[in-house]
């Protein structure tokens, strides 16, 4: 073979080799691009073996972004130069939109939001696990039970309130409390652990649902002290109040959500795993009341609960925890009146809720000594005068109300000394802390999403609240 032929063959081989290298490089780039696309789209594991064994869904009802930010400052150690990171800071992964079905506009209520979080379907305000045509939609809790997992619900409201009901029931109106409670038996028992409040809905003249649960094999308790000694391998119904539980500030256990969650996770553990809903219900109630003192105590209870779950996941890495809010409540503002400051110091010292303080002050003389004792910080003479004036005006209005004939009374709202003092106490605390509010209802802002544990990356970025349920369905094996 002559030298010219050898040279031609060598050139051909070099070109083929170069083409092969380019093809391989392009293939690698394509694979890398596809991986990045999947990651940015919150890629979902194809193999069910890669899914978490346990899924814990936590809802901070009413907990818009201002609440988690305020908790950081409330929780801060003033003795240090830095503002300490909170459990919420450690696990923030994104934000979620909360709007309901178009028929209800842009601002959701708790029922429509919880239905979106539990079913992946937008519905109208007031809907409990039903679509806009009022047809039942399967919830992630119901699907988890069908897959052989255990299920539980832990809330600080009554257990048939909007959020827990939207995971356990199907009803066209969230206000149908008795019917929702009845469905927990009549439509088949769907949870192995139910903890919260609600005596008045479960023990009624027309029906005793507690007896029906115990007849179905449930262990019932009405005192949270019994949570430390629950019988193993037995379903549990725990009801600890007539409606919702006491405010965290007023409860003998300031971290009652934590205590119930600890008991529920222990009780639900099994070889097939479980789905657990945990709701910090009363952040929302504090927001509706524009009550920053109660709100921060509820946030502290939630934070302790999340710290427990963070440690739980370390010991049970096959567990996923997702926390979000259904909406934000109250239009809470950290700093008001144009003043560039927020002062949570007095909130850290308070031992009673403003509700409780108002009840005490309505029944006795309002003095500096007594009021300072109840608030657990020293009040001024000017603040006392405002409280005294509020009580005096409410008393006068009550006298005028009683002077009316019966028909005229029925056309008015009866004045309440306690309620008037409650409003005055909250204003005092708002002034001290420089807290602001724009509403006593919900707002339409996006809410934070927090996640940790197995497959937590699926919940990152800007998502819609329905995507949370859809991702959980996928992790539970639903096509």
pLDDT of residue 412: 92
- Within-domain flag for 459: yes
147 and 211 part of one domain: yes
pLDDT of residue 49: 62
220 and 364 part of one domain: no
- Within-domain flag for 185: yes
- Within-domain flag for 379: yes
Q: How confident is the model at residue 233 (pLDDT cuts 50, 70, 90)?
A: confident
pLDDT of residue 45: 53
pLDDT of residue 44: 52
**Region 215-244: what's the mean pLDDT?**
97
Q: How confident is the model at residue 43 (pLDDT cuts 50, 70, 90)?
A: low
**Region 100-111: what's the mean pLDDT?**
98
94 and 206 part of one domain: yes
pLDDT of residue 39: 35
Q: Which two tokens stand for residue 146?
A: 């069908």
In sign, the C-alpha dihedral spanning 389, 394, 395, 400 is positive
Q: In angstroms, how far is the first alpha carbon of the chain from the final one?
A: 65
Catalytic residue among 51, 110, 157, 183: 110
For the cut 90, the answer to whether the pLDDT of residue 431 exceeds it is yes
Domain that holds residue 463: 48-333+440-475
pLDDT of residue 262: 98
> What secondary structure does DSSP assign to 65-114, as a single string?
HHHHHHHHHHH--TTSSS----HHHHHEEEEEE----GGGTT---HHHHH
122 and 160 part of one domain: yes
Q: Any residues with CB less than 8 A from the CB of 390 and at least 6 apart, and which?
A: 420, 421, 423, 424
52 and 76 part of one domain: yes
Q: How confident is the model at residue 2 (pLDDT cuts 50, 70, 90)?
A: very low
57 and 105 part of one domain: yes
pLDDT in tens, 49-62: 689 999 999 999 99
Number of domains in the chain: 2
- Within-domain flag for 43: no
pLDDT of residue 4: 40
181 and 312 part of one domain: yes
CB 341 within 8 A of CB 435: no
Residue 61, φ and ψ in degrees, nearest 5:
-60, 125
pLDDT of residue 479: 83
Q: In whole angstroms, what is the distance from residue 309 CA to residue 450 CA? A: 12
For the cut 70, the answer to whether the pLDDT of residue 28 exceeds it is no
**Region 287-303: what's the mean pLDDT?**
98
322 and 425 part of one domain: no
- Within-domain flag for 42: no
- Within-domain flag for 39: no
For tokens 């405010």, the residue is 247
265 and 362 part of one domain: no
For the cut 70, the answer to whether the pLDDT of residue 42 exceeds it is no
Tell me if residue 110 is catalytic. Answer: yes
Percent of the chain whose predicted confidence (pLDDT) is above 90: 89
For the cut 80, the answer to whether the pLDDT of residue 37 exceeds it is no
- Within-domain flag for 35: no
202 and 351 part of one domain: no
Q: CATH number of the domain that 387 lies in?
A: 1.10.60
**Region 82-110: what's the mean pLDDT?**
98
Of the candidates 142, 144, 117, 121, the residue with the CA atom closest to the CA atom of residue 133: 121
328 and 184 part of one domain: yes
Work out whether strand 333-334 and strand 435-436 pair parallel, antiparallel, or are unpaired.
Answer: antiparallel
- Within-domain flag for 32: no
pTM: 0.89
Q: In whole angstroms, what is the distance from residue 340 CA to residue 323 CA? A: 30
Weakest mean pLDDT among 5-19, 24-38, 288-302, 359-373: 24-38
Weakest mean pLDDT among 35-39, 80-84, 124-128, 470-474: 35-39
269 and 353 part of one domain: no
pLDDT in tens, 191-209: 999 999 999 999 999 999 9
Q: How confident is the model at residue 144 (pLDDT cuts 50, 70, 90)?
A: very high
Q: CATH number of the domain that 65 lies in?
A: 3.40.720.10
**More confident site: 60 or 39:** 60
Mean pLDDT estimate for the chain: 92
């Amino acid at each position: 073979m002559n030298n010219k032929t050898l040279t031609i063959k060598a050139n051909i081989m070099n070109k083929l080799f170069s083409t092969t290298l380019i093809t391989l490089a392009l293939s690698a780039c394509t694979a890398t691009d596809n991986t990045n696309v999947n990651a940015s789209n919150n890629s979902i594991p194809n193999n069910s073996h890669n899914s978490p064994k346990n899924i814990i869904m936590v809802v901070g009802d009413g907990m818009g972004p201002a609440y988690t930010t305020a908790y950081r400052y409330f929780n801060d150690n003033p003795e240090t130069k830095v503002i300490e990171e909170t459990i919420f800071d450690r696990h923030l992964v994104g934000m979620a939109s909360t709007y309901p079905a178009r028929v209800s506009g842009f601002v959701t209520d708790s029922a429509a939001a919880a239905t979106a979080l539990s079913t992946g379907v937008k519905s109208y305000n007031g809907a409990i696990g039903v679509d806009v045509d009022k047809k039942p939609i399967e919830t992630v809790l119901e699907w988890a039970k069908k897959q052989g997992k255990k299920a539980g619900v832990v809330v600080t409201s009554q257990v048939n309130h909007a959020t827990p009901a939207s995971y356990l029931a199907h009803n066209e109106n969230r206000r149908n409390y008795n019917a929702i409670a009845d469905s927990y038996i009549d439509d088949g028992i769907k949870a192995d652990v139910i903890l919260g409040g609600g005596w008045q809905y479960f023990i009624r003249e027309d029906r005793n649902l507690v007896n029906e649960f115990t007849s179905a094999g449930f262990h019932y308790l009405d005192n949270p002290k019994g949570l430390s000694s629950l019988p193993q391998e037995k379903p549990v119904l725990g009801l600890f109040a007539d409606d919702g539980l006491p405010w965290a500030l007023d409860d003998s256990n300031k971290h009652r959500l934590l205590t119930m969650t600890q008991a529920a996770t222990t009780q639900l553990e099994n070889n097939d795993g479980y789905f657990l809903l945990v709701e910090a219900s009363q952040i929302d109630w504090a927001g509706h009341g524009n009550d920053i003192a109660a709100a921060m105590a509820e946030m502290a209870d939630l934070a302790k609960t999340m710290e427990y779950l963070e440690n739980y996941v370390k010991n049970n890495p096959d567990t996923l925890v997702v926390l979000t809010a259904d909406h934000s409540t109250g239009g809470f503002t950290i700093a008001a009146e144009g003043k560039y400051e927020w002062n949570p110091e007095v909130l850290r010292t308070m031992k009673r809720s403003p509700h409780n303080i108002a009840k005490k002050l309505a029944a006795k003389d309002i003095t500096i000594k007594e009021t300072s004792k109840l608030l657990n910080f020293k009040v001024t003479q000017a603040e006392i005068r405002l409280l005294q004036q509020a009580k005096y005006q409410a008393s006068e209005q009550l006298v005028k109300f009683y002077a009316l004939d019966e028909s005229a009374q029925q056309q008015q709202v009866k004045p309440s000394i306690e309620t008037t003092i409650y409003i005055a106490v909250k204003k005092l605390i708002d002034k001290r802390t420089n807290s602001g509010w724009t509403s006593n209802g919900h707002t339409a802002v996006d809410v934070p999403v927090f996640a940790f544990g197995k497959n937590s990356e699926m919940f990152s970025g800007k998502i819609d609240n329905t995507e949370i349920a859809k991702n959980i369905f996928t992790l539970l094996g639903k096509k």
